[in-house]
Amino acid sequence: MTPEELRTLTLFNTVESSPDINQRQLAQELNISLGLTNTYFQRVLKKGWVRAKQVKPRRWLYFLTPQGVLEKSRLSLSYLHRTLESFRELKNKGDEHLRVLSEKGVSGIHLCGEDDLTEVLSFCFTGSKIELLSVIPEKILIAEVEQSKVPNFPELKTGELIMLVSLEHRDLIAELMLQHGLKKNKHWVLFS
């Protein structure tokens, strides 16, 4: 799905849930300029996907047309297909990581990172020889650092590792673990 298709889908969803939205509010919702929002509106109006009805001077209501509903369905299915494809790729990668770690004698893992990524990877532990011991949300670690607190990492037993799955704060969390005496590839590994 292209960024333009994603914006169009967001526009459809927003118009459907808030028909009285103005273009300035929609620009904020789409995180684009007001001028570009107006261009998008003109495009979907011209294609017949959205209908506009003036209810007061300078006040409009927007509605999805039957063609707009069909296009929204097509874009939604495309988005769902891409999301499921990404999920499968990520799960396969996670399964392979766990297989390799299991062969190296790892019996338990603490996932450390982002909510969405740790949630997807948690599915990999079903049927695995490795136990998911805990999830360490990166938000908590970052908050502890911002409050000048010492981050709280779990005490590792034999056969246990921390798997760092953060994208945005990977380097910071890796540095925190090193400062905490946790060595890469001995106490923790990167998911990449």
Q: Which stretches of the chain drop beneath a pLDDT of 50?
A: none
How many Å is the maximal CA-CA distance in the chain?
A: 72
Interval 161-170: pLDDT, tens? 999 998 888 8
Given a contact cutoff of 8 angstroms between Cβ atoms, the answer to whether 36 and 27 are in contact is yes
Interval 85-99: pLDDT, tens? 999 999 999 999 999
Q: pTM for the whole thing?
A: 0.73
Ordered structural domains, the chain, with CATH: 3-75 (1.10.10.10), 105-190 (3.40.50)
Quick one: 86 exposed, middle or buried, by C-beta within 10 A (0-12, 13-18, 19+)?
exposed
Given a contact cutoff of 8 angstroms between Cβ atoms, the answer to whether 175 and 153 are in contact is no
